Amino acid sequence: MRFFRMLREHLHISTKTVIYGEMMVLSLLCLSIFLFKTDPGQAVMSQASRLAGYMNPLENIDGTDPDKTGTDKKEAKNKDYIKWVDFGVTSEAMNQAFRLDVDTCQADVHLNWVDLLAYLGTRYGGDFSKYKPEHMTAVAEKLKNGETTIEELTKDMKYYSYYRQAYGAVLDGMVGQFEAEIPAGEAPAAYLPSGVAGGAPGDPATVWVTKYGLKAFSPIAKGFPYSDFDDFGVARSYGFKRQHLGHDMMGQVGTPVVAVESGYVEALGWNQYGGWRLGIRSFDHKRYYYYAHLRKNYPYQSGLEVGSVVQAGDVIGYLGRTGYSRTENTNNIDDPHLHFGLELIFDESQKDSNNEIWVSCYELVKFLNLNRCEAVKVEGTKEWKRLYGIKDPLVPVQPATPSQAGPAAESQAEPLAKSQAGPQTESPGRTPDRPPGRIPGGIIGSFRQKAPPPFSYPLTRGCPSRPPQPHL
C-alpha cells in the first residue's frame, strides 16, 4: 500500500480516498482468488465463458462468422439453427399447460401445451420466476373462445419463434396419442370381447386402449425412492474443472432405470466420467438422453446394443455408482445415483463438439414424476421388466426381445464387451455407421387386442395402466 501513501503525500489525496482505494484493491484480490482458486469460482467462470459465447442465441442465428468471406460465408449462412438454450420452465407451468392440452384434445380448439409455454416464455424473456397460473389461464380462454389464434397472438412477438423451437426441442415428443396396455378390469366395455365393462370370465387379463396424454416417463421406475436437488451447473473437478451438465437422482444400487422417451440406443459402454452409461436418441433426432453411473457387473437390460429401439418406459439399466476411472467396471462414485442428462441437437455438427447444448432437467424430472412406469422382478435373474406396455406410433413394430418379454438372459458379457468401442469423452456420441432405421431389437412385445371401436381418454397422472384422472 506504499503506492497509495505516496499518492497521498505528493498529490494531497485525502485519507478517506486512500482507504477506499485500498479496499477496492483487496476486494479485487479476494475475487480473483475465489474465481481462479476455488471450485465454485471455476463454475462461475465456466458459466460466464459459456454465456459469452452465446450471449444472444437469437443474434447471428445463421451461424455466420463475420470474418468469413466468399464460399465459406455462403456455407455458414446455410446453417440456420439455434446455438444455445436455457430451459427454465417450471414444473408448475408445464403441468398447467399439459392439462390444458389434454382437456382440449377432443375440443374444437385443441390447445398445444408447448405453444402456451413458448408464448409465456416470450413474455417473460425465458424467466419463469415471473410465472403466474392466471397468465396462462387468460391466454387459454381467449384461444378456446375463438377470440384469437396462437398465430395471431404471436405474430408481433420477435422472439416467439426461438422459444417455440427451443421448448419444442425439449418437449415435443412427450405428449400425444399412443396405445396403452391396461388390466381388463379397468377397460371400457368396447375393448373387451365380452362387452362387459370391468371384464367377465373369458376376457384376457390385459387389453390395449387408445390414449392421448403424457407418453414420456420419469427415469426412475415407480415405487423406487430417490432424492434430488437442482445441481445443474455446479462444479466438478474429476479429470478437469468443469460444470455438471446433468441431474443427479440419488437412489439404491439396482434401482430400475427406464427410458424417458422412445428412441434408439446411440451409445452404450464404458466412459471414464460416466462409468457404464447409455445414450438414447429420440426419433426426431433432437434429444439425446444420457444415463450414467449404472450398476457394476450388470449395468444394462439384456439384449440392448447400439441401434436397439426402446419404447418409453422400457427398463434399460440399473442405478449404480460406476465411473471416475479409466478402468472398466470400477465403482469410484461415493453415493449411488443416476446421472440423467438431456442434450438438444439442432444440427448434427453440435453433437460431440464444443457447442453442445445440455439443459437443466430438475424441473422436467419433477413434471415427469406424474408418470412413473411400474416394473416387476424377473424371477431367477437380476433384471426387472415393465408391468404394462405402451405402443408409441413413432416406434416401428418389431418382435419382442428377451429384455422385455419372457425370462431375461443371465449374462451381460456381450454388451460389456461392446463398451471398448465407446468414446472416452464426457458426453458420449452417436455411432454414425449405424443408421437409425436398423433395429436389432429392444422393443416390448405383449398381447394385442383386435382394433376396437374408436375410443380415447386422457392420461394426466401416473402410469398409462392407471384409469384416467383428468381433473386431479
Q: Which tens digit of pLDDT belongs to each residue from 417-433? A: 443 334 333 433 333 33
Judged by average pLDDT, the poorest of 74-78, 95-99, 341-345, 385-389 is 74-78
Distant-in-sequence, close-in-space partners of 429: CB < 8 Å, separation ≥ 6: 266, 267, 279, 351, 352, 423
Per-residue pLDDT at 142: 97
What 8-state DSSP symbol labels residue 227? B
Write down the pLDDT at residue 423: 37
Whether the pLDDT of residue 364 is over 90: the answer is: yes
Query: Interhelix angle for 133-144 vs 113-124, to 10°?
Result: 130
Report the Cα 82 to chain-centroid distance in Å: 18
Alpha helices in 38-132 (DSSP H): 39-53, 70-77, 91-103, 113-124
Cα separation of 408 and 404, whole Å? 8
Q: Which of 63-77, 156-170, 192-206 has the highest mean pLDDT?
A: 156-170
Mean pLDDT of 355-383: 96
pLDDT of residue 56: 44
Least confident of 76-85, 145-154, 219-228: 76-85
Global confidence as pTM: 0.73
- In the predicted model, what is the mean pLDDT of residues 170-196? 91
> Distances in Å between the alpha carbon of 202 and those of 184, 192, 195, 226, 344?
11, 10, 11, 40, 48
The length of the chain in residues reads: 472
Q: Specify whether the CB–CB gap between 34 and 40 falls below 8 A.
A: yes
For residue range 344-361, what is the model confidence (pLDDT) as tens digits? 999 999 998 889 999 999
> Distance of alpha carbon 234 from its chain centroid, rounded?
18
Q: What is the mean pLDDT of residues 397-416?
A: 44
Average per-residue pLDDT for the chain: 78
Mean pLDDT of 10-39: 70
pLDDT (0 to 100) of residue 412:
46
Q: Give me the pLDDT at residue 4, please.
A: 52
Bigger pLDDT: 470 vs 36: 36
Q: What is the largest CA-CA distance in the chain?
A: 105
- Across 234-391, the runs of DSSP E, i.e. the strands, are 235-236, 242-243, 247-250, 256-258, 263-271, 275-282, 287-292, 309-310, 315-318, 337-344, 357-358, 375-377, 384-386, 390-391
- Band of pLDDT at residue 255, cut at 50, 70 and 90: very high
Q: Is the pLDDT of residue 41 over 60?
A: no
In angstroms, rounded to a whole number, what is the distance separating the alpha carbons of residues 82 and 126? 15
